[in-house]
Structure 1
Amino acid sequence: MASAEDKKPVRKKPGRKLPPGAADRRQFLAVMNGDVIKDLKVAAAEEEITASELLEQAARELLERRKSKQAKKR
């Protein structure tokens, strides 16, 4: 017979819940200049996307350029 401890629910780490559809996402902390953060938020609002989405797009573009540059060197 199972003990009471075996029936305890598994507790997840405390913190913010991810928005719907973000189950495959992970959190990434970066420290930046306050003016850069402010400008990123303004740019994201102008694009009608979140700052996270804007940063992810920029990171993907940077990584793609780096990949293309490395492929040309070979």
Structure 2
Amino acid sequence: MMISCSHSAERKVHEIAKLHKEVRELRSEFVDTQKRLMTLKMESTIKERVADMGIKPADNPPQKILVLNTTEEE
């Protein structure tokens, strides 16, 4: 009985160690992916990637268009 319990405890310890290692690897992968995403979202990176397509930033800033409601409800 004691030997069986000892083996069971050892298996659990090894499983816990394996899961901790997997968590560290996944966390590292998450940080790397997040870093790549931040780099891809930068304006300078986007400008470089779309320059080959002939797209460039606008010379004039965007203008806001206002639509006024001229009909009155009775």
Q: Which has the higher helix share?
A: 2
**Normalization by structure 1: what TM-score?**
0.33
**Normalization by structure 2: what TM-score?**
0.33
Tell which structure's C-alpha radius of gyration is larger.
Answer: 2
Structure having greater relative contact order (Cα 8 Å, sep ≥ 6) = 1
